[in-house]
Chain A
Amino acid sequence: MKEKITGSEALMRSLEHEGVKTIFGYPGGAIMPVFDALYDHLDRINHILVRHEQGAAHAAQGFARVSGKVGVCLVTSGPGATNTITGVADAMIDSTPIVVIAGQVGAGLLGTDAFQEVDLVGVTQPISKWSYQIRRAEDVAWAVARAFYIARSGRPGPVVLDFTRNAQTELADYEPVSLDFIRSYDPDPETDPKMVAEAVRLINEAQKPLVLVGQGVELGNAQEELKAFVEKADMPCGCTLLGLSALPSNHRLNKGMLGMHGNLGPNVKTNECDVLIAVGMRFDDRVTGKLETYAKQAKVIHLDVDPSEIGKNVPVDVPVLGNCKRTLALLTELIQPHRHTEWIESFKPYEEKEFEQVIKKEVYPSEGPINMGEVVHAVSEATHNEAILVTDVGQNQMMACRYFSFSKNRSIVTSGGMGTMGFCLPAAIGATFGCPDRMVCAFMGDGGLQMTMQELGTVMEQQASVKIILLNNNYLGNVRQWQAMFFNRRYSFTPMMNPDYMKVASAYGIPSRRVMERGELDEAIREMLSTKGAFLLEVCVVEEGNVLPMTPPGSSVNYMLMEC
């Protein structure tokens, strides 16, 4: 039965029809009718008022990454909309399903440089999965259904809906729309049986197979399928940054993180394996190092849902298209059980070397200032490796990802492709709404925290249970490390003057503690974890700490510096 309602009310009902219960937003002129309609839906939709629209976008990302649901942002036109753009671009490169709904001037004013008008569709088209302007109230139900379908299906990504003010207030018939087919868009491309057969042959014949686990495994909800696959043929794995929690850290076949600051074993072995099986990953340059020397000896099998990823950076011998939940199961059924004991044992010397030369010093120092790695390790242990890790970008991110351990899926929220500083705090807020029952540990540096520090206001208002671990080294540490290594120690604008974070926390009513001595660390972590709700733990860490090992930019993946 159809009834006439406003476009804004239609938006609310369409969101409810998509199962939306949480929205991150910020009101403004061109979205006021929607916020007015929202006022009548607060019993079903929880709106989280952020302090800056960038925070809304990152919070939606954090929500989506841990829950697997679509994150939703609601902002106004012009600056409200452009403030979300960093989050949209971040969600695009990290395949995160979010829907940004932005107000827009009335259709009659479009193109006139009206107050707070920006060509949002034009601006976001290259950095979103889909971007659409709703100009008529009767299009709302269809556009929202299409937006959610596109955001969550196939390779997920951000969708932008630009909602003109007239469409928000005009009346139209409303009928809920469910959409699961677009003829020009194939979210799960057909798998070529010949390629499957060829992949099976290569895997069966492989003496030294290596599996690269990407976020696609988590996005495809294929964690169990991956485990069955690698266990049946006894294949060691390396995980990408975003794929870290797709396989438990302590799984005997998980050989650690890939890439520039990853673990030595999987990086060296990439250039020794005979068959490289990439699952839901995109051969980012931070993973591959120098492409000309990358895995040249290996046959490459690539499982991916996105055909444009095949051969984009690394030539692929056997592409296996389709959702990896399906294709992994298909391969597992056809491959023969195998044991690769000797090959797996061959990782050990590299693990020992990395432990002796890097990990021991970083995580188990006996003297000197506190290291970043030892803080991460201590927090991970104290949470029994069950927490969600949210990181900012830079040294805190690399240290957190190297030394945090994962036992549960969907436990890593970090800005991988974009490397967005300021991502952590709002994303962590979003994560607490995505998984309210889980512990959320947010590691950030003094640079990144200050980029979106206003979201402490959101933490306060929402009583969001974010455990903020500030690794304070008074530097923009990652850039400082590069300046030390490649720019002759010329520390151009990387030393940073910091505020008194205890006072900042106290201004927001957030319990906090500053740790300067190693002896206090464990007790402070216990205090943080046992305190209900948010907590800011500032650890004053070694000022000129370095993330190691490191594949210098432009070097081969198997070349890693153990010291600098």
Chain B
Amino acid sequence: MLIQIEDMENKTLYTIIVHSENIAGTLNQITAVFTRRQINIESLNVSASSIKGVHKYTITCWTTEDIVEKVVKQMEKKIDVIQAHYFTDPEIFQREVAMYKVSMPEFQSNPEASKVVRRASAHIVEVNPTFAIVEKVGMSDEITALYQNLKELNCVLQFVRSGRIAVSTSCFERVNEYLAHREERYRNGK
């Protein structure tokens, strides 16, 4: 149920990439920045980054550039946040992963089913007499489209999708360089 229909005009889907120290409570601090401004998080992915002890957050939300810029600065202000940046869709490569658990009898009885899966470039990763699991890696709307198509065939038992993960199109992720620079500045200041 839609409790409140927000004015989506002038809003853009931004992807915010944050690097932080892996300390308990950091996620709380990052999400609190959204709560304070009553911004809904569309999707959120948190996992270890390539740097030891550093976690990477990929967060999407609908908002304006003015607000997202302030949100990112508020995040960077947190002591244990190393860097935070925001991107629009053209500035990133982004993927989500989804799993669709489908009922085997329904799936087999309809010849359209396997075509739908193939057309969507999805994979079947588990098959047994009661169900199959279809896995799809792709863009948000592709994942939604496949769900709609499978749903029309009345075979979906469960559906789950991950948060978005993204890398920037620029040679951006320079957290290593940033940390090295911070340490160098510190040494020089001594």
Chain A residues in contact with chain B, CB under 8 A?
121-122, 125-126, 129-131, 150, 181-186, 190, 306-308, 310-312
Contacts and interface: CB of A to CB of B under 8 A. Distances in A.
Given A184-B21, A186-B182, A307-B73, A126 B79 contact: no
15 contacts: A122-B25, A125-B25, A125-B32, A150-B79, A181-B183, A181-B186, A183-B182, A184-B21, A186-B182, A190-B185, A306-B77, A307-B76, A308-B70, A308-B73, A311-B70
B28 A184 contact: no
Interface of B: 20-21, 25, 28-29, 32, 36, 69-70, 73-74, 76-77, 79-82, 179, 182-183, 185-186
A125 B70 CA distance: 19
B79 A121 contact: no
Ranked nearest first, the 4 interchain pairs of A and B with the lowest CB-CB distance are A308-B73, A184-B82, A308-B77, A130-B79
Given A181-B186, A183-B179, A184-B20, A121 B77 contact: no
Contacts of B36: 126
Nearest to B186: A181
A182 B73 contact: no
B79 A184 contact: yes
Contacts of B20: 184
Contacts of B79: 129-130, 150, 182, 184-185
Q: Which of A182, A183, A310 has the most CB of B within 10 A?
A: A183
What's the dominant secondary structure at chain B's contact region?
helix
A399 B77 CA distance: 35
B148 to A, nearest CB: 39
Contacts of B74: 308
Nearest to B36: A126
B25 to A, nearest CB: 6
Contacts of A312: 70, 73
A311 B74 CA distance: 12
Nearest to A315: B66
Contacts of A308: 70, 73-74, 76-77
B159 to A, nearest CB: 33
A184 B182 CA distance: 9
A518 to B, nearest CB: 49
Given A126-B36, A307-B73, A312-B70, A184 B80 contact: yes
A183 B21 CA distance: 9
B81 A184 contact: yes
Nearest to B70: A312
B25 A121 contact: yes
A310 B54 CA distance: 27
A129 B74 CA distance: 12
Nearest to B74: A308
Nearest to B20: A184
A125 to B, nearest CB: 5
A150 B77 CA distance: 12
Contacts of B80: 184-185
A183 B82 contact: yes
Contacts of B179: 183
A122 B25 CA distance: 8
Q: Which of A126, A181, A184 has the most CB of B within 10 A?
A: A184
A420 B183 CA distance: 40
Given A190-B185, A307-B73, A307-B76, A125 B28 contact: yes
